[in-house]
Amino acid sequence: IDDDPQLELVFCAEEQADIAGYRPINNQQNSEDERGATLGRLMVFDCKSLFVEWRSEQGLWAQSIVVGDLDDDGILEIALNTGFIVDATYQRVEWEFHGGFGEQIGYADVDGDGIPELIGEFRSTTRPRRFIRIFDVDLQSESFLSGR
């Protein structure tokens, strides 16, 4: 995340006074009212020094997170499946996509332009039960390559 040789762990957790007290946020089991009351934060934890390098000011939560240069600006982004793209260097939200990017997310250059697209897996109650949507983070839009 920060160009040092140590690995970082990127996760979302409830704000706690002690790092040992962090626990994952399980918003799938909470009602909308409980979700709003839960103050989740995006955390970047230094795995060698064992401290939180930074935490988001904004309340954020996710079940799936990927890190990569998703907009070809030379800076890593942290993508949260809940619809947020966070600049890892400046620690600010670059883009919010209402409705989220899917239950599980990943990235690959699917259109051959040299810039990876964010890929989200969605579930549906109708056929097809699972489908993907593709997002161009550099353009801050859903790509029509997904055939929706």
The model's pLDDT over 11-56, given as tens digits with 9 standing for 90+, comes to: 998 865 434 555 555 555 544 444 444 568 999 999 998 899 999 9
Number of other residues whose CB lies within 10 A of the CB of residue 34: 10
The model's pLDDT over 77-128, given as tens digits with 9 standing for 90+, comes to: 999 999 999 999 999 999 999 999 999 999 999 999 999 999 999 988 888 7
- Are residue 109 and residue 143 in the same domain, yes or no? yes
Residue scoring higher pLDDT (24 or 57): 57
Confidence band for 4, pLDDT divided at 50, 70 and 90: confident
- Are residue 96 and residue 147 in the same domain, yes or no? yes
Q: What is the DSSP-derived secondary structure letter of residue 33? A: H
The reported pLDDT for the residue numbered 18 is 38
Number of other residues whose CB lies within 10 A of the CB of residue 87: 16
- Are residue 70 and residue 16 in the same domain, yes or no? no
Give 1-20 as a DSSP string.
--SSSS-EEEEEEE--SSGG
- Are residue 145 and residue 127 in the same domain, yes or no? yes
- Are residue 72 and residue 131 in the same domain, yes or no? yes
Number of domains in the chain: 2
The reported pLDDT for the residue numbered 69 is 96
The reported pLDDT for the residue numbered 125 is 86
- Are residue 5 and residue 42 in the same domain, yes or no? yes
Has this prediction a pTM greater than 0.85?
A: no
- Are residue 89 and residue 46 in the same domain, yes or no? no
- Are residue 98 and residue 110 in the same domain, yes or no? yes
- Are residue 80 and residue 29 in the same domain, yes or no? no
- In a 10 Å sphere around its CB, with 0-12 CB exposed, 13-18 middle and 19+ buried, how is residue 64 labelled? middle
- Are residue 113 and residue 132 in the same domain, yes or no? yes
Of 13, 40, 61, which one is at a domain's C-terminal end?
A: 61
Residue 139 pLDDT greater than 80, yes or no: yes
Confidence band for 147, pLDDT divided at 50, 70 and 90: very low
User: What domain range is 20 assigned to?
Assistant: 1-61
- Are residue 36 and residue 70 in the same domain, yes or no? no
